[in-house]
Structures are given as structure tokens and as C-alpha cells.
A and B are shown apart, each in its own frame.
Chain A
Amino acid sequence: MYLDHAATTPVDPRVAAAMAKCLTAEGEFGNPGSTSHDYGAAAATLVEKARAQVAASMGAQADEVVWTSGATEANNLALFGIAEHYRESGRHIVTSRTEHKAVLDPCRELQRRGWQVTYLAPDGDGLIDPAHVAAVLRPDTVLVSIMHVNNEIGVIQDVAAIAAICARHGGARLHVDAAQSVGKCAVDFAGLGVDLLSLSAHKAYGPKGVGALLVSRRERRVHLRALQFGGGQERGLRAGTVPTHQVVGMGLAFELAEEDREAEAARLTSLREHLWQGLEALGGTFRNGAAARSVPQLLNVSFDGVEGESLLAAVRGRLAVSTGSACTSALQEPSYVLRALGRGEVLSESSLRFGLGRATREQDIDTALAVVKEAVSRLRRISGA
């Protein structure tokens, strides 16, 4: 049973059908940059329609959408692009310890190149206090990067408050990694006052290999230095032929996700709480992240008295979930996100992330509960807990 929708989602059949039409001779296979003939013009029309769909679902303008290969590239373009463009204004960046590696690793690379990075610690619920952001801003701060929805624990950060702080500062642009937000919670790019926002298609029933960076063209226009060159596409910010089928898939996926969002939120909140209540009854269970400030699709739970790798192995084959451990080799490492929340190493490793999705039904939750209860009880017997 698949309960790992925070890792990826299956492509919606309607999305797959729309994508397929852009691949073959019968469809819009032309190069969207070749607008001198009908083939290219037809593809360009679809690309711009998709751009408008993404923008509309995110409260942005179409000309603020820059296509990328995914959220990782969008994050890299935002961080390196801002850092390089504003390098004469300052070399200080603020982020948090619970960001995705696609933000943390570029920050570490920027540190290696001479930038200074402040890593904010979340509270025990995984939330970043906007006042802490204000406290660490410096005259030379050029960028603040805070994710919207955390990929491990699902908490939603108060990016509107952080955006207001950055606007008051004047020189600090706010980048938000919103890879986990689409279809899970409302995103209003203009309303939030965010300067840059990273998006991914495959977390929202779209295809892998495509994403976007929203770059504000509001009164406080944001400038970026491009990271790749060779064609001038995407207003020179991201060279390379735009993959029509990929962006068409993303555009439709985002439109569909936004249509279903509120109804899905109510349904999945109910299922998630049913799951948590069942797990809580086991005893020795700890919910990670602020329940009242989380997206409905995600539940992260630590289990006392069981070893993390054994827990994952015990449910594997019957339940597809993620563990709190990052398996970087044969040895697993405790989740750095849960460690940042103050969980000890053992509880950080003995956690499971349940990612609910469109296909999840109540009987799936009941099955998952039975599998996890059996595994935890057995491992606790073996450990004598």
C-alpha cells in the first residue's frame, strides 16, 4: 500500500493524456521556440497556457513563472542567482536547519565560496519564529530562504510574516521552497509578499523532471544571475528548449490540484487524525510537528522502543512509507529535521512519515494501522521494551 505521497505521486491520467499529445507527430511536438512556423507556434501556445495555469493556481502573474527541471533546480537558481547578482550588496544569507537538502547543500556551497549563512533553529513543533528571522538580519543580508511546508513533518511556516520582515529590511529577498505546498495548502505568491518561490510538479500528480521558480516582477523586482546559458529561453534565466509535454503536464496538474484542494483537505484531515489516534493508542508514540499547523496529507510519528531500520524493514513489503532516517549508506542516520526539533537520536531514527494522497481511503488507513501495530509490538517484544 502506497503511503509515501510526500515523496512523489502518480501522474494523474488526465495529465498523462495531455502530455502524450505533445510527443508525437499527430500532436504539438514542435519546438516552442520555433514560432516561425505553425508547429512551433502551437507548442508555444500550450507552453504559455501552462504558464498561465501555474501562475493562476499560485496567485502569480504568468510572466513571473520560470520553468526549471524541478524544485531542486529552482532552489539552486534562487540561491545562487540572488547571491551572485547581489554579491556587491552583501554576502549574508538566512535559512533554517530544517530546510530540504536542495536548499541546505547550495547554502553550504555558498559558504565554501565566501558567503556567510545563518541557520535558524525551529521550536519543538518545527516552526520558525519570524522574530528570530528579524533578529538575525544584517545590513549585508541579501537573501532569506525558508520553506513553506516541511517535507518531513508537514508544518506550514508563517512565510507572510517573514516576508513582511524582509520587506521592512529592504535588502533581504525572501525565497520560499514550496515543493510540498501545491494541492496541500493555499499559496498566494503576491498576497504572501514572497520574492521567489520554488515549485515541483511530481508532488502534485504531475510528471517528474519539471518545476518552476516564481520570480517577483512586482514593485520590488527581483534580479537573478542565470546559472546556465545557451539559447536565452525563459527571459535568459534558464537556457534550454522548454519541454512542452512536461510543462503542459505541470500546468494541468496544478489546475486540477487547486480545484480539488479544499475537498481533499477535509477528507484527508479526517483520515490523518484516524491514523494518529490509532497509532497513539499503541503508547510510546510521539507526533512530530505542530498538528494544528500542518498540511492534512502528512503525519510523522516516532515510536519508542523500536530501532528505526528494523521498523522500516518490518513494514516493508506491506506498506510504502518513509523513515526518519536518511539512508546514505548501509548505515542509516537520524533525521536532521527531527534532531532540530529536539528529538533524541533514537526517536529521530525510529520515525515513520505517512504521506496520504488522492487514492487513500479509510480501509487503507486501517490496514496501515494493523501493519504498524503488529511491527511495533513485535519489535518491542524483541527489544524487551
Chain B
Amino acid sequence: MSYSALTLRYFETAPGAGVLDGAGILRGAAGSPAWGTWVQFNLQVSCGAIQAARFLAFACPHTIAVAAWVVEQAVGRDLQITLPEPVEALSKRFAVPIEKRGRLLIVEDAWRAAAGR
């Protein structure tokens, strides 16, 4: 398996990995470790804007990299039910093989689960 430089950078550093504690944290997850992919997002929102974001992932390097990028991009934006970038664009940005693109839908579902709370 080969990975793009961007994928490797976000996989190896995984910025934003972890959880947020406290009242009012929006938390949502999708997938399952038993299926091989599980992603959870934690969002701290104030006045409609995302103040902080974290993720957890039991997943392949592509999925971890995308989840890390998503939380990095999310901070400072208005809370929306959609990802900061559509799945198709994320697939291209991280050179995700077509066989693995379904895993990005789990990222999207986890985001929707958190942002929709």
C-alpha cells in the first residue's frame, strides 16, 4: 500500500487526536472496530462557531489522515452538518484508493452524528 505525502503527514502526526471534555461537547461516532473502521468526532461550539475539535479513529492511515485534516479545518468555522470538504474532494486530496472510499463515508457519518446533535 502506498500513501501520498499528505496522507503520511496527517497519519504520522495525527493533529487533533483525542477527546474534549466538559459540558456542551457535541460528540458523534460511526462505524465499528469490528468492521475495521470507527470514527468519533468531538466538537466544542460557541455562538454557532466551532471553537475546538478532536477525533478518535480505529481506522486505516487514509481514514485517520482525513479525520485529522477535517478537525484541523473545522476550527473557527460555523457549525454545519456537512464536512468542511465533500467526500469526493477529500478522496482526491488524500489520494484515497477507490476501494477505500466507503471508509470516508464513515467519516462523513461520524461528522453528521456530532454536528447534528
Q: Which residues of A contact B (CB under 8 A)?
A: 305-307, 309-310, 313-314, 327, 329-332, 344-346, 349, 378, 381-385
Which residue from B1, B58, B97 sits with its C-beta under 8 Å from A383? B58
B36, B97, B98: residue with the most chain A Cβ atoms closer than 10 Å: B36
Interface centre among B38, B56, B64, B97 (most CB of A within 10 A): B64
Q: Is B57 in the interface zone, CB < 8 Å from A? A: yes
Show the binding face of B for A, using Cβ within 8 Å. 1, 3, 11-12, 14, 17-19, 33-34, 36-38, 40, 56-61, 64, 97-100
What is the minimal beta-carbon distance from A113 to any residue of chain B, in angstroms? Answer: 32
B-chain residues with CB within 8 Å of residue A330 when the two chains form the complex: 1, 97-100
Contacting residue for A310 out of B18, B19, B38, B59, CB 8 A: B59
A383 partner residues in chain B, CB cutoff 8 A: 33, 38, 56-59
Query: Would B36 and A384 count as touching, CB distance under 8 A?
Result: no
Contact B36 A346 (CB under 8 A): yes
Whether the pair B34, A331 counts as a contact (CB closer than 8 A) is: no
Task: Report whether B34 and A384 are in contact in the complex, using a CB–CB cutoff of 8 Å.
Answer: no
Contact at B34–A307, with CB atoms within 8 Å? no
Extra 16 A-B pairs, beta carbons < 8 Å, given A309-B61, A384-B40: A306-B58, A307-B33, A307-B37, A310-B64, A330-B97, A330-B98, A331-B100, A345-B36, A346-B36, A381-B18, A382-B17, A382-B56, A383-B33, A383-B38, A384-B19, A385-B58
How many residue pairs between the two chains, A and B, have CB atoms under 8 Å in the bound complex?
A: 57
Q: Does B1 lie within 8 Å of A313, measured CB to CB?
A: yes
A378: chain B residues at CB < 8 Å are 14
Contact A310 B61 (CB under 8 A): yes
Task: Using A327-B1, A330-B100, A382-B57 as known contacts, say yes or no to A313 and B11 having CB atoms under 8 A apart.
Answer: yes
**A313 surroundings in chain B (CB, below 8 A):** 1, 3, 11, 61
Which residues from chain A contact B61 at a C-beta distance below 8 Å?
309-310, 313
- Residue numbers in A under 8 Å from B3 (CB-CB): 313
| Shortest beta-carbon distance from B66 to chain A in Å | 13
A312: min CB distance to chain B, Å? 8
Q: Separation in Å of the A359 CB from the closest CB of chain B?
A: 27
Cα A330 to Cα B96 with chains together (Å): 9
Nearest CB of chain A from residue B41's CB, rounded to whole Å:
12
User: How many Å from the CB of B48 to the closest CB on chain A?
Assistant: 28
Please give the distance in Å from B11's CB to the nearest CB on chain A.
7
Q: List 16 A-B contacts (CB under 8 A).
A: A305-B58, A307-B33, A307-B58, A307-B60, A313-B3, A313-B61, A345-B36, A346-B33, A346-B36, A381-B18, A382-B17, A382-B56, A383-B56, A383-B58, A383-B59, A384-B58
CB distance from A343 to the nearest CB of B (A): 13
* Cα separation A346 to B64 with both chains bound (whole Å): 17
Q: How far is the CB of A306 from chain B (nearest CB, A)?
A: 8
Q: B11 to chain A: which residues have CB within 8 Å?
A: 310, 313
Q: Which residue of A lies closest to B99 (CB)?
A: A330
For B60, the closest partner residue in chain A by CB is A309
Q: Find the B residue at minimum CB distance from A378.
A: B14
Q: Which 10 A-B pairs have the closest CB atoms?
A: A330-B97, A383-B58, A384-B56, A330-B99, A309-B60, A382-B17, A313-B61, A331-B99, A382-B14, A310-B61
Bound complex: CA A306 to CA B57 (Å): 10
Contact status A346-B60, CB under 8 Å: no
Give CA–CA (A202, B110) in the complex, Å: 47
B21 to chain A, nearest CB (A): 13
Q: Hey, which chain A residues are within 8 Å of B38, CB to CB?
A: 383
State A346–B17 Cα separation when bound (angstroms).
Answer: 21
State how many angstroms separate the Cβ of B30 from the closest Cβ of chain A.
Answer: 14
Residue of A whose beta carbon sits closest to that of B12: A314
Q: Indicate which residue in A305, A344, A349, A382 contacts B64 across the interface (CB closer than 8 Å).
A: A382
For A314, A381, A384, the residue with the greatest tally of chain B CB atoms inside 10 Å of its CB is: A384
Q: Which of B1, B36, B56, B97 has a CB less than 8 Å from the CB of A307?
A: B36
Interface contact A381-B17, CB-CB below 8 Å: yes
* A231 CB to nearest chain B CB (Å): 42
Q: Give every chain B residue within 8 A of A305 (Cβ-Cβ).
A: 58
Residues of A within 8 A of B36 (CB): 307, 345-346, 349
Q: Which residues in B have their C-beta under 8 angstroms from that of A310? A: 11, 59-61, 64
Contact of B34 among A309, A327, A346 (CB under 8 A): A346
Verify A309–B1 contact, CB threshold 8 A: yes
B115 shortest CB reach to chain A, Å = 19
In Å, the complex CA distance between A31 and B16 comes to 66
In the complex, the chain A residue whose C-beta lies closest to that of B8 is: A313
Query: Which of these, A329, A344, A384, contacts B99 with CB under 8 Å?
Result: A329
